[in-house]
Structure 1
Amino acid sequence: MIEAKGLTKRYGKTLAVDDLSFSVEPGRVTGFLGPNGAGKSTTMRMILGLDNPTAGQVTVGGKRYTELHHPLRTVGALLDAKWVHPNRSARAHLMWMAKSNKIPARRVDEVLDIVGLTAVAGKRAGGFSLGMSQRLGIAGALLGDPEVLLFDEPVNGLDPEGILWIRKFMHRLADEGRTVFVSSHLLSEMALTASELVVIGKGRLITQSSTEEFVARAAESTVKVRTPQLDKLRALLAQASATVDIEGDGLIVSGMESEKIGETAANHGVVLHELSPQQGSLEQAFMQITGDSVEYHAALEAEARHALAGQDVR
């Protein structure tokens, strides 16, 4: 379990994370969403002890990351897929990580096989594509067989087969009772992967809820209608204060439930060929909820760190 309480981080005059509190429970995949520059990467860095909070705290299994004796056995993370010495082979990189946490050498070959890199285990990591680097980063996260896993944009550079693989893999990890916390800008994929969401903007918590609740609350549901009497039905629904748009050979209706649309059509002798309720998307819900938070540009965090170059921000 990950638990943040009043988590705050300042870089000079820039407030990157502002009194942020949330929890990530085991047994599910929790998505971490927010506009660029919302503070997601900074939050993950604080979870992993790479940055120290200005105020508040974040714990993993009740302990701060720096208090963990062999941290890779408790927390596995992928924040930057290219954080590998380019002249090291995939196996050498993982072997170095394993030795640092007293992980058996046989585990290196196990995780290479899990992520599909066995055939290139002896090749220089610097020559890997982004997708291969992502797989190597995932292997590193799995190395200690940890109970908690953090992934930042894990599907970057992966082909459709790789994206499907990691989606199923995350579900399997959660089904094993592990805590899985994943940040991604690919909202269509998050809708299929995450059952829980933590959404932030301008460093603050916007909401934490199930994915289903988030979409239902924020995205407007519509109904697709097809009829050979399109103009007549359109006029009837507009008279009933529904919002009606033409799309292809049918109508998209909002502000009226499908049952009411069907009753209206029946009462006026309108033949229906299709009446399909359509739930709003995660992307629509995200844009609706975070619309006021996009003013905070992604460059600010990087500029703040650059301004503090040479200072101890850990």
Structure 2
Amino acid sequence: MIEASGLTKRYGKTLAVNDLSFSVAPGKVTGFLGPNGAGKSTTMRMILGLDNPTSGTVRIDGRRYQELKHPLRKIGALLDAKWVHPNRSARAHLKWMAVSNKIPVSRVDEVLDAVGLTSVAGKRAGGFSLGMSQRLGIAGALLGDPEVLLFDEPVNGLDPEGILWIRQFMHRLADEGRTVFVSSHLLSEMALTASELVVIGKGQLIAQSSTKEFVARATEVTVKVRSPQLDQLRVVLQHASATITDEDGGIEVSGMDSDRIGELAAANGIVLHELSPRTGSLEQAFMQMTGDAVEYHTELEAEARHVLEPTR
């Protein structure tokens, strides 16, 4: 488990992280979301002891990173896929990491195979594509068979097959009871990967909840309805104070759930051909919840935000 309490980081006059508290539990993939400049990378660096907090604490299973004797056995991380020495081979890089933490060297070939790099293990890391470098970084994170894993933008540079692989891989790690904390700007992918979310803006916590709860709280649920008696149904729903929007082949209803619509239709002898609840997307919820926490807006971003925000 990762526990941050009152975490604050200042760089001169800049307040990068401001009294941030959250926890990341094992057995789930937890997404770490926020606009650019929200403080995500700084927070991850403080978790790993790369930056010291100005105040507050962050602990991994009750201990600070600096207190871990062999840290790679407790927590594995991928923050920068290109930090590897370019003239080292993938195998040599991982072997060096293994020796530094007294990890059996046999583990090197195991993680290379796990991430699909066995065939290029002897090649220089400097010649790797970004996708291959991401896989090597993931192999390094897995090297000590840790209980806690941190990934910062792990799908950058991966093709669709690679993105599917890392999504399934993270689910498998969580199913094994590990703590998996992942930051990404690909919200559509996070919606499929993360069951829990920690969302921050301007260094402060905006929300911590399940992904489903976050989307439901920030976006309006509507219901698509099709019926051969649409005109009659429209009158019934409007009389019950529902808001109706015409849609190709049917109507979209807001302000009323599907159960109530079905009950009203049945009570009035109206046949339904479709009754489909529609929840908002993670992208819509994110834009809605973080709108006030974005440092800089372009005109195009402002227009996109207006389009994505649900009508109230």
**What TM-score results when the alignment is normalised by the length of structure 2?**
0.89
Deviations 1:246-266 (A, max 9, x none): 333222211111233234445
Distance 1:231 1:295, change over 3 A: farther
SS in 1 for 2:185: coil
Matched with 2:61 is: 61
Residue correspondences, number: 297
Q: Cα deviations across residues 153-205 of structure 1 (Å, max 9, x unaligned)? A: 11112222222221221121112221111111222222222222111111011
- 1:91–1:122 Cα contact (<8 Å) kept: yes
Deviation string for 1:21-54 (max 9, x for gaps)? 1111112211111111111110000001111101
Work out whether residues 202 and 293 of structure 1, in 8 Å CA contact, stay in contact via their aligned partners in 2.
Answer: yes
2:36 partner letter: N
1:17 shift after superposition: 0.2
Is 2:37–2:295's contact at 8 Å kept on the other side of the alignment? no
Match of 1:162? 162
Alpha-carbon distance in 1 for matches of 2:105, 2:248: 59
Counterpart residue number, 1:27: 27
Structure 1's unaligned 5+ residue stretches are 298-314
In the alignment, which residue of structure 1 is the partner of 2:300? none
Give the equivalent residue in structure 2 for 1:181: 181
- Give the distance between the partners of 1:178 and 1:283, measured in 2 at CA: 27
Secondary structure in 1 matching 2:241: coil
Of 259-268 and 105-114, more deviation after overlay is shown by 259-268
Moved more, 76-85 or 163-172: 163-172
Distance 1:140 1:296 in 2: 35
Secondary structure at 1:52 match in 2: coil
C-alpha deviation, 1:133, in angstroms: 1.1
Change in Cα spacing, 1:65 to 1:226, as seen in structure 2 (3 Å) is: same
Gaps of at least 5 residues in structure 2 are: 298-312
Deviates more, 1:70-79 or 1:94-103: 94-103
Q: What secondary structure does 2:207 align onto? A: strand
Instruction: Measure, in 2, the Cα distance between the counterparts of 1:230 and 1:154.
Output: 48
**Aligned equivalent of 1:143:** 143
SS of the residue corresponding to residue 260 of structure 1 reads helix
Contact 1:36-1:296 within 8 A present in 2 as well: no
* 1:83 lines up with 2:106 in the alignment: no
User: Counterparts in 2 of 1:297-308, with a 5 A limit?
Assistant: none
Residue equivalent to 1:171: 171
Alignment of 1:134-283 (within 5 A): 134-230=134-230, 233-234=233-234, 236-266=236-266, 270-283=270-283
Q: Compute the displacement of 1:233 (Å).
A: 4.0
Greater shift in the superposed pair: 63-72 or 41-50? 63-72
Q: Secondary structure of 2:10's match?
A: strand
Aligned letter for 2:176? E
User: 2:250 and 2:126 mapped to 1: Cα distance?
Assistant: 52
Distance 1:267 1:26 in 2: 48
Match of 2:308 in 1: none
8 Å contact kept, 1:131–1:157? yes
Task: Name the SS for the 2:91 alignment partner.
Answer: helix
Specify the alignment match of 2:305 in structure 1.
none
TM-score by length of 1: 0.88
CA contact (8 A) 1:20 1:205 kept: yes
Q: C-alpha separation between the residues in 1 aligned to 2:268 and 2:161?
A: 49
Instruction: Give the letter aligned to residue 259 of structure 1.
Output: D
Cα distance in structure 2, aligned partners of 1:131 and 1:23: 30
| Contact map agreement 1:78 1:152 (CA 8 A) in 2 | yes
Aligned-partner Cα distance in 2 for 1:237–1:86 = 65
- Greater length-normalized contact order (CA 8 Å, ≥ 6 residues apart): 1
The amino acid of 1:42's aligned partner reads T
AA at the equivalent of 2:260: K
Whether the 8 Å CA contact 1:202–1:296 is kept in 2: the answer is no
Code of the aligned partner of 1:159: D
Please name the residue that 2:38 is paired with: 38
Separation in structure 2 between the aligned mates of residue 90 and residue 27 of structure 1, nearest angstrom: 30
Does the C-alpha gap of structure 1 residues 296 and 51 become closer, same or farther in structure 2, counting only changes over 3 Å? farther
Cα separation, partners in 2 of 1:268 and 1:85, compared to 1, 3 Å: same
- Where 1:51 maps in the other structure, the secondary structure is coil
| Partner Cα separation in structure 2 for residue 205 and residue 92 of structure 1 | 40
Which whole-Å CA distance do the structure 2 matches of 1:40 and 1:205 have between them? 11
